[in-house]
Amino acid sequence: MSASPIVLGIESSCDETGAGLVRDGRLLGHAVASSMDEHARYGGVVPEIAARAHVHALTPVVRRALDTAGLRLGDIGAVAVTTGPGLSGALQVGLAGAKSLAYALDVPLYGVHHLAGHVAADTLEHGPLPDPCVVLIVSGGHTSLLLVRDLARDPIAHLGDTLDDAAGECFDKVARVFGLPYPGGPAVDRAARSGAADAVVFPRPLTGPGDDPYAFSFSGLKTAAARWAEGHADGDLPVADGAAALQEAIADVLTRKAVAACAAHGVDTLVVVGGVAANSRVRALAEERCRAAGITLRVPPLGLCTDNGAMIAAVGDLLVRAGAAPAPLDVSIDPSAPLEYAALHPTTTFARVA
């Protein structure tokens, strides 16, 4: 049997421009360019700046990914691209580039849901996902518990989602209150290393007896941390302790609910993905609780937790091998697309406006 085609994946939903190459579940090479430094002065991502950065970075990133893999453009057999959710202008840049390449190379094009990409990222390190498995997605704008079966063929079941701020948003917003730089997640993680997690008692939202066992809410935690910081208006703010306590609260809620979901659904594998999966305390506490519960924990390597093109190529590779239909020529973007299937092929007529 001949090998599957090499799939080029393109990611441009936010501030990272990523390109990756995957064949038969194996990562051949990838490259990422970030415009994070350009946004840091504003304390968050500026959509217009991100879109312009993608325009400049897309071609060099694709070339670097090909060079890393020792491949040429002519070796590409399919193109996969993030079509949502994300920033509208940023998504448009990636889709335009992907369409151009697919047309020039005369190869099929696949639209991919960004969050499905995060799920698929783990397969590049640990192989096919068990059927079923519970997936905890934790990123800047998303926190969800999913029941995943065949990622390329089956619908994705949502066990619970965030009702307001996602975990990554909570990190970013509280970091600003603490006087830490953007992005907040890594800054809080660094500051927490010299702090005491038990020095401050922050709430654990939606963990009470009558609460939804799988829903998330981090808005109240964000407010509690801000009020605590305001109580140190004299300038003597113990940032390290606050960071450690905040990180502990978020990690506690995330891992407690994820392990409970595995037990309730008889699933013995938990997959934790997304940018917040790079947080040291989230990883450590997930490992500790999964070990105690007899659950196998899978977390991608740090370089595949944040946005990248390899994860989009991984979904494209799965779709190709599953015999999924390519995207239509008029495929568009959907900046607010719900996660229902890994493939996302909206058209201009039906795409929602963010």
Joined tokens for residue 69? 């893999």
pLDDT per residue as tens digits for the range 212-257:
999 999 999 999 999 999 999 777 899 999 999 999 999 999 999 9
Q: How many CA within 13 A on the CB side of residue 164?
A: 10
User: What pLDDT was estimated at residue 354?
Assistant: 46
User: What pLDDT was estimated at residue 280?
Assistant: 97
C-alpha 273: how far from chain center:
6
Q: Is-contact 66 74, C-beta < 8 A?
A: no
Q: Phi-psi category of 348—alpha, beta or left, where left has phi over 0 and alpha has psi -120 to 50?
A: alpha
Angle between helices 167-177 and 219-230 (to 10 degrees): 10
User: What pLDDT was estimated at residue 37?
Assistant: 83
**Coil vs helix vs strand at 121:** helix
Angle between helices 239-264 and 184-192 (to 10 degrees): 110
Q: In whole angstroms, what is the distance from residue 314 CA to residue 311 CA?
A: 5
C-alpha 298: how far from chain center:
15
Q: Is-contact 334 88, C-beta < 8 A?
A: no
- What are the C-alpha distances in Å from 16 to residues 29, 55, 97, 138, 309? 16, 12, 15, 17, 9
C-alpha triplet 251, 258, 16: angle, nearest 5°: 65
Low-confidence residues of the chain: pLDDT under 70: 1-2, 349-354
User: What pLDDT was estimated at residue 349?
Assistant: 57
Q: Is-contact 143 195, C-beta < 8 A?
A: no
User: What pLDDT was estimated at residue 3?
Assistant: 81
Full-model pTM = 0.95
User: What pLDDT was estimated at residue 140?
Assistant: 83
Joined tokens for residue 84? 């949502």
User: What pLDDT was estimated at residue 2?
Assistant: 65
- SS (HEC) of 51-63: HHHHHHHHHHHHH
Nearest-Å Rg of the Cα atoms of the chain is 20
pLDDT per residue as tens digits for the range 12-71:
999 999 999 999 999 999 999 998 888 888 888 899 999 999 999 999 999 999 999 999
Q: In whole angstroms, what is the distance from residue 76 CA to residue 53 CA?
A: 25
Angle between helices 184-192 and 280-293 (to 10 degrees): 70
